[in-house]
Each structure stands twice: as structure tokens, then as C-alpha cells.
Amino acid sequence: MIVANTLMTVTVGIVVVLLIVALLVFTGVMLDRRAKTPVPANLKPFVEDDVLETTRLERMLQAAVVTVLFLGVLMAVIFALEPTRQADAYEELNEKAVARGAIVYGPAEEIIDGEPHAIAGAFACQSCHGPAGEGGAAAYTITTETGEQQQVGWTAPALNDVLLRYSEDEVRTIITYGRQGTPMPAWGEAGGGAMSKQQIEDTIAFLESIQLTEEEAKAQNAEVGLVAGSYTNGELSDDAEYDGAALFDKFCARCHTIGFSYNQPEAPGSGGFGPSLRGGASLEQFPKIEDQITFVTDGSEWQVAYGVRGQGTGRMPGFGLMLLPEQIEAIVRYERSLTGGFEGTIPADDTRADEPQSDVTPAEEQPQETPNVEE
């Protein structure tokens, strides 16, 4: 019995000791964990109000003033450099667009190790319009009056002055939808072609990069049709005279004379892609010669009225940036002389109109009757 009690006492003592040890260990762990736990900012003591509202406040206000001044100077510098940055960014983007446009415009194949390989994104515009946009020729099939198919060589226009004749929007429309009845197909997706909008924009950027200036174009064209006088150093002599027929053939006949583009011209001014100018059409459309000169100088604009009953389509180019005013006047006077019918061929001496020129329409030559108005 004594042994049993002793064992019980020892056991209880051991359990109590173990509990005390466990409690001490738990307490130590908790104290250690609490010591390592950071004190929240709202429980930490802060500086005294006397320091906070004087020295500390002044330092913060000084720092704020310095920061505002720094930001003001920085914004002024950014504002001063922004135009240059924008210009540089635009120039960089434009250079990339021109490089992509050169691929679109350039050859469709390249030779690698003696073998031809297709160039991705190339549409070979240069095959018709020339590597530098100087113009060229394209094979084209026409249908003759007898219904037969005939292969012809169609003269393709120069593109190194196209933006002197048309606006960017008009060039974009031509590329997208093509020219009906000519070798120029519709390249844009909207017109049924394979060129994306980005490729069209890149092509226009490339064309801009190869454009002649207004001065270069006028100097290049100044000798066309010049039959008297001279053009030297950008100046036309006072005795200069121009042949309107020669100028018409050079700049207008491809659209206004049937067959001219493929060396089978019919009567001059007989129409084609553009309307016929024969039979006094110019006199009917433009009773005043000044209005026709303005129209040929500026070209037509989409849905902008011109002349007596004209409605602009953008198809008529403006020649004011590439021809001299004297040349345009000579062209207009020649067009107004085409009062003959549609039949006939070009005489050898190129005197294509025997009728005297008139600046009034046939309608104006008739006496006007006073209308009978019944009230």
C-alpha cells in the first residue's frame, strides 16, 4: 500500500513538473514570437507636437516647394522638346512606311542562287509604271468593234508626279478601286483586290518619297508644246507661244481620246475614260473660258459642282502644279476649238478644228424667248 502511494505521488509529481515545463516552454515561445512581431505604426510613439508642427512641418513644406519647382522645370523641358519628339517619331514611322511601300511597289520576284523566289507583300507596280515611277507600259487585251480580242501595249502613266495631279484621297481611291476599262485593276480589299489598307498607305508613302517638286515638274514639262520663245531658269520669255494640240496629246489625250493610250487614236477629244470634248462640249460645259482654265488647273473634287452641270468625281486631275499657266490656257483654247463631230481622223498637219473659236454656248447664240407665265 505504501509502495502504491509512493508511486502515485511520484507519478503526480512528474506530471506536474512536465506541465510546468510545458507551460514555461509555451510562455517562452509566445514571448519570443511577440518580440519578433512588428509593432503596428499606429501603436508606435511619434514625435512630439512641438517638433511636428515646427521643424518637421517646415522640412515637409520645403520639400514640397522643391518638388513643385522640379516638376515645373521638367514639364517646361518636355513641352519644349515635344514637337521635336513628335516630328522624329513621325519621320521614323514614315521611313518605315516608305520601306514597306518600296516592297509593295517593287518587283514580285528576286533571284537567289540563280532561282526566282517570290517576295512577300510585293505587287510589282513598277512592272507597269517604271522602277522610279517614270511611266511604262502594260500588256492589255481590248475588244474591237468587230468583237475580236486584240492584245495591245497600253501606256502606263508616270507616278512620280501623281500627287501633283491628284490628292492623297484620290490616289487612295484609284489604287483601291482601279480604273475601269484600263489595265489598272482594283488592288484594295474594298475593290475586290488583295492589298490591305496598310499596304495601300505604305504605297502612297513610297509614292510621296519619289515625287517631283512643283518646280522640277514645271521645268521638266516647260518645253512640251513650246513653239516660240524660251523657258530659262524658271522664267518664260515674253514671246513664248504654246501649241495646245501638242500639250493636249501629252497630258489629256490618254483620257479624252479613244485609243490614244494604245497607239490607235481616233478623233482627238473623242472621249474614253474621260468624257468627249467634241461637238462643242467644252463650250456647253464652260460658257466662260476662265472657268474651264480654273477647272483644268485645280481638277475636280468629289461632289463639288463645276461648270454648267458638272458634278465632281475626283477623276479629273489638276495640272496647276505641273504645268505653266500659259500651257493650261493653250490646252483649254484647243479643247474649246474641238467643235466638230465625232467622225474623222487626225490630219497630217494637225489642224483639227476648222470652226472659229467661240466663248459662248450654242444655247446662248439663240435668241431667248420670254416665258409666258399665266397667273
Is the Cβ–Cβ distance between 235 and 133 less than 8 Å? no
The single-letter DSSP state of residue 350 is -
How far is residue 77's CA from residue 245's CA, in Å, rounded to a whole number?
60
Tell me phi and psi for residue 158, to 5 degrees.
Answer: -70, 145
Q: What pairs with residue 110 in β-bridges?
A: 117
Q: What pairs with residue 140 in β-bridges?
A: 152
Matching residue, cell 489642224: 351
In 53-129, the DSSP E strands lie at 109-112, 115-118
Q: What is the pTM of this model?
A: 0.70
What domains does the chain contain, in order, with CATH numbers? Answer: 123-211 (1.10.760.10), 213-362 (1.10.760.10)
Q: 277-303, pLDDT tens digit by residue?
A: 998 899 999 999 999 999 999 999 989
- Cell numbers for 279, please give them: 461637238
Residues of the chain with pLDDT below 70 are 1-7, 33-37, 340-375
Burial 4-19 (b: 16+ CB within 10 A, else e): eeeeeeeeeeeeeeee
Q: 117-169, pLDDT tens digit by residue?
A: 999 999 999 999 999 999 999 999 998 888 899 999 999 999 999 999 999 99
Q: Which of 275, 284, 276 is nearest to 342 (CA)?
A: 276
What are the helix (H) ranges across 178-288?
197-209, 214-221, 244-251, 253-256, 281-285
> How far out from the chain centre does Cα 77 lie?
33
